[in-house]
Copies of this chain bind each other. A is one copy, B any other.
Amino acid sequence: MNGQARLIGVDWGTSNLRVMRIAAGGAVLDSRSDPRGAGGLTPDQFRPVLEQVAGDWLNQGLPVLVSGMAGARGKWREMAYLPCPAGVPDLATAVASPDDAPYVVIVPGVALFEDGRLKDVMRGEETQVVSLDVSQDAVVVGPGTHSKWIRTADGRIMDFRTFMTGELFAAIRQGTILGADMGEPGADDAAFAAGVDRALHDTAITAALFSVRVEGLAGRLSPAWAADYLSGLLIGAEVVAQIDAKDRPVILIGAPALCRRYADALKQGGFHDVRTADSAVATAGGLWRIHEALRR
């Protein structure tokens, strides 16, 4: 790829680390991944891990900007959550460096407060959201372990909600009778659509989940299809909970296969303007914008 590196961007997730060389404007020139996510690290391990993964890049004197879980409690340096509404200038004002690496700058997470009470939190998604050029009020959805539905206006995060979808899917498959003989999701679009449809029409999800078993008993669902049906139920539960946003544009940021599933579920729920953005591109773009604001 052409272009000169101007920024080292770091996306330190719970279970994965990604370091990127970023050109002016936010394009990713080069990228490295490592399984040493923030979840398993103590504060003194962040600097050596980063140097092992990208010491050669760090030696070039470029600014280093980190988003994600490095700023969580008990991690590299605890960064207080920035309250909504939050955009690029707010994030840039609130960055800070860890004591053992003054050349590193960490972006804070964002929190939702209601009547002064903490209601929800994110770390990492805020950086992706501020990369987007969306003039209208929009909804940004980050599918995954803890799915985020983020309402934006004027490029700022106004409100958001976290759904335990990915983690619940894994816990239900591993820890309940529904998981017996269950395969991997992704193979059967019809089973997925049936799960979404059920969730759209039956919002008592802890009861609707039992339909995985009933459909199996009735012979209408093979064990191999059950994973897709369950996935549809849980993703459908997100869609129906956010159904009042269905006339807003939605931008999905995440793994392509999962984004495709969410796009299908959103369309089933009546959302009509659904786009998809690459996760690494969004992170790099957001880090670049925060970096630009820092230089002003």
Contact = CB atoms under 8 A, between A and B. Distances in A.
Interface of A: 73, 117-121, 146, 161-165, 167-168, 170-172, 174-178, 203-207, 209-211, 214, 217-218, 234, 237-238, 241
B168 A237 contact: no
A237 B121 CA distance: 23
Contact of A217 (B121, B177, B210, B211): B121
Given A175-B170, A175-B171, A176-B171, A163 B207 contact: yes
Contact of A164 (B203, B209, B237): B209
User: How many copies of this chain sit in the oligomeric assembly?
Assistant: 2
Given A214-B119, A214-B120, A214-B121, A206 B174 contact: no
A185 B168 CA distance: 20
Nearest to A207: B163
Contacts of A241: 204, 206-207
A196 B117 CA distance: 18
Given A119-B214, A162-B210, A165-B206, 17 more contacts: A120-B214, A121-B214, A161-B207, A163-B207, A164-B207, A164-B209, A167-B176, A168-B176, A168-B206, A170-B176, A171-B175, A171-B176, A174-B175, A203-B203, A204-B237, A204-B241, A205-B237
A218 B117 contact: yes
A98 B261 CA distance: 47
A24 to B, nearest CB: 37
A241 to B, nearest CB: 4
List the 10 shortest-distance A-B pairs measured between CB atoms, nearest first: A171-B175, A204-B241, A118-B218, A162-B210, A171-B171, A167-B176, A163-B207, A164-B209, A175-B175, A163-B206
Contacts of A170: 175-176
A73 B117 CA distance: 50
A139 to B, nearest CB: 14
A215 to B, nearest CB: 8
